[in-house]
Structure 1
Amino acid sequence: MSLLGGNDLKEQQKINELELKINREKQKLDKKLTRQKILLGAFLVDAIENNSVHGLKEYTANNLLGFLTRQGDKDLMSDLVKELNSEVIKVSS
């Protein structure tokens, strides 16, 4: 055992434990933020489906695809946007 650096192992262990604790807290925060986004999305979908917010359906139809950056996401949402557009046209006619 060296006189110098004898506590290095204990200090490294403490650092590892703290890093694990930080990672667990980050995971909890990520889960919380994801849940908030899901609930907000569900709220907005309900508002759009029930047409409870004047202009929200039209705003969504006009801006959703421009908001998305990934082509896969745009492809996924394109049918929804088409449906919203057709509903907006029906209402305005």
Structure 2
Amino acid sequence: MGLLGSNDLKEQQKINELELKINREKQKLDKKLTRQKILLGAFLVDALESNSVEDLKKYTADNLLDFLTRQTDKDLMADLVKELKERADSKNNNKTKTDT
């Protein structure tokens, strides 16, 4: 390769190094976003389990399946939604009984 080819090779090597660096940074960002989603999910599960937010169970039961787009995800969450509806309904029934 003469004088001209060695410069091209060095430039290609620099490009490859930069692409690797970009990919590493993308992976770090993806991991960060995934961790944020997991923590937010854990927070919401805790709020649902402790019933700390008024009508969150009902809202989740009414809207979660519409939010999901993949049928496999809907199938996965169907039992949870059913349980949330039952708990929200029993809470509303108990509230109605005590109000009368």
Same fold, TM-score > 0.5, yes or no: yes
Number of equivalences:
93
TM-score, length basis structure 1:
0.96
Matches within 5 A, 1:23-42: 23-42=23-42
* Superimposed CA distance per residue, residues 37-58 of structure 1 (whole angstroms, 9 cap, x where no aligned partner): 0000000000001100011111
Aligned residue for 1:4, secondary structure, equals helix
Corresponding residue number in structure 1 for 2:48: 48
CA RMSD of aligned residues (A): 0.9
Matches within 5 A, 1:72-87: 72-87=72-87
Runs of at least 4 residues of structure 1 off by over 6 A? Answer: none
Contiguous gaps of at least 5 residues in structure 2: 94-100
* TM superposition shift of 1:59: 0.3
| Amino acid across the alignment from 1:63 | N
TM-score, length basis structure 2:
0.90
**Percent same amino acid at aligned positions?**
78
Contiguous gaps of at least 5 residues in structure 1: none
